[in-house]
Structure 1
Amino acid sequence: MISPRELYKRYFYISPIDLADYAERNRFRNYYMNWAALFGSFFTLLGYMILERNNLRQNLTTIIFFIICIAVNLVSILLSKVFAHASREKAYILKNIPLYIVFTWGMTSCVYNFYLQQNPFIGVITFFNAVLIMLCVFSICIHVFFVLVCGAFCGIAPGLLENFGLSGLFYFAFITGLVIVLAAFLRYRDKQYITALKKQKKSLQVKTFGNFTALYDKKVLKFSRTKSNELLAYLIYKNGSSVNTKELLAVLYGDYADSARYGASLRLLISDIKHTLSELEIQNFFITEYNNFRINPEVVQCDYYDFLAGDKTAAKAFTGEFMSQYSWAESATAFLERKACGGN
């Protein structure tokens, strides 16, 4: 008989390093959503204080609530920036911390609305809004999600019973159970997808020591535009971190490249890469989000990544040359040389 632990490992467990790309996606989306929430909370607080300027003392609890919302958003934004370049081994933990700070506050807000604001309907809406955003927008850690959702449910259960009766409590518990089942299903789907990508990884290879070369099924990837290779090479060098349009323009066309003039050229390069990878059915390798670009290191074999991970074969393969055809790679070469000599 298979134990629950073995069942979990077989169907739901994903190693943290396999989730490094998911963590970067979470960090990136959380960062911009927090900016939106920050401005929303600030202007709501400002409007509330103007409308209720004669009753501020009586509404102090509401004002404090919005101030805490702003503070939570600011902390999450700051930590998103701090952990932006976390190592692949630590990415899944560190890059998700800002997200779960906000989600914890969302669950706390449910309890706040139920008891301090005495508005159970808003409490229920807040609960499901936070949960649905987590499930639809982010890749969740099922353990943390389960603990926070169950904690919030237990916190508001007495209020549910008092305001909606036993039937209301039952329906809320039933829907919460469905939410947890959905979270487990999404985790299972992620595991299946990552397993499929690992099969793809056996065919997708990038060589960075010497000249940059990308291969699929042992054949060189051929793009229709020369600079497409350089764009891809730079994203490989960034090791999964998101790179914005401005940075790419500076790398490809010079520090003072005019976005109005060269933006169209960059879009053509991006289209070229997407088209080439699509024809070869290469998935989840080149990722674009809101004018930010990155590659997923977990779906490609790369000597540079093996070297950073301490692989001895990759260390021997490094002879002092790294993407030699690109001038911007010189600083990285110096770093690799120090690391090869035992430095940091």
Structure 2
Amino acid sequence: MNSLDLAKPPHETRVVVAMSGGVDSSVVAGLLKRQGYDVVGITLQLYDHGAATHRKGACCAGQDIHDARRVAERIGIPHYVLDYEDRFRDAVIDRFAESYLAGETPIPCVECNRSIKFRDLLATARDLDADCLATGHYVASRALPGEGGRRALYRALDPARDQSYFLYATTQSQLDFLRFPLGELPKDETRRLARELELVVSEKPDSQDICFVPQGRYADVIARLRPDAARPGEIVDLDGHALGRHEGIIHYTVGQRRGLRLASPEPLYVVRLEPDTARVVVGPRAALATHRIRLTDVNWLGAPGPVSDMAVAVRVRSTREPRPARLDYDPATDTAEVVLAVPEDGVSPGQACAIYADEAPRAQVLGGGTIRRVAAASADAAKAA
């Protein structure tokens, strides 16, 4: 087996590398080329090519495409740019806007990986007779002994960079074809390798915001896509008493405290959004505590499949560590109920819930789903608070 767990010598192994123009995917391409693999770089033009040029913290547009091309020239590999703007708009941007209008807090990176990078780009890699598709994600995969090449997904070595939360929706067939060379490297080592390989992006800043949302201003993007969507309404407390007015629920997310502009003797937080009535419901921090979560669009990577009252660990935000929980899966409806051992604050419909085998730093990713409904730890306690 070569370093990518493939039964060919590197020079006979074709690897398509998804090159975003950032340091991580550039290092992947450079390392594999240095190891003797037949490397082909592909960059996806996903959105707004002209307006995004020279904007820092983005990916897959403008300057990033230029940077990817320069890296490919430096390491001596063929490089192609594919126009996926229409696919990206339909599968990711439009869904993002619709989700926000429904009072949810979507995670577009999950959908981008699921439907663009790991479906459409993976199919392109196969068309190019590639043996695998490699990316710069910080996540690990390993072949399972005696499983005929079946692979499992694990948290990355560098906990500060681990991106497993965003990859729970990867299907088994996709995972078997994917490779993640950075899963066993800390970020500072990636930077060192970029300098060693003399890549022009070695000091390029990492992407921070969602690529099509400049400076994190979600409401501006949604207002541009759906100009008639911002419906004014009331801000109410947990009992429905009006406390103020707002200019549209697209300006609020669950857990938000700043910008409410309410006169109150205690801090108030957005507890939930009600798109049908255009109401923003606020309450004390205690009202944010979530005990039970319902998931839809469940994807399962573990073997065997989920069972009733299964002990797992779950992650409801990318910035949080996995926490212990119990899982019940209903195959008839493809939904799951997650009961948290310790309530979590600020869990919102539309977010992702990644499921792990346990809380270990290198735990296996079992799957996950989209959060559709949350239940407060105690409605009475929240009102009392």
- Shared fold (TM-score, shorter chain, > 0.5): no
- Which of these two proteins has the greater Rg computed from alpha carbons? 1
Relative to its length, the structure with more helix (as a share) is 1
Relative to its length, the structure with more strand (as a share) is 2
* TM norm structure 1: 0.28
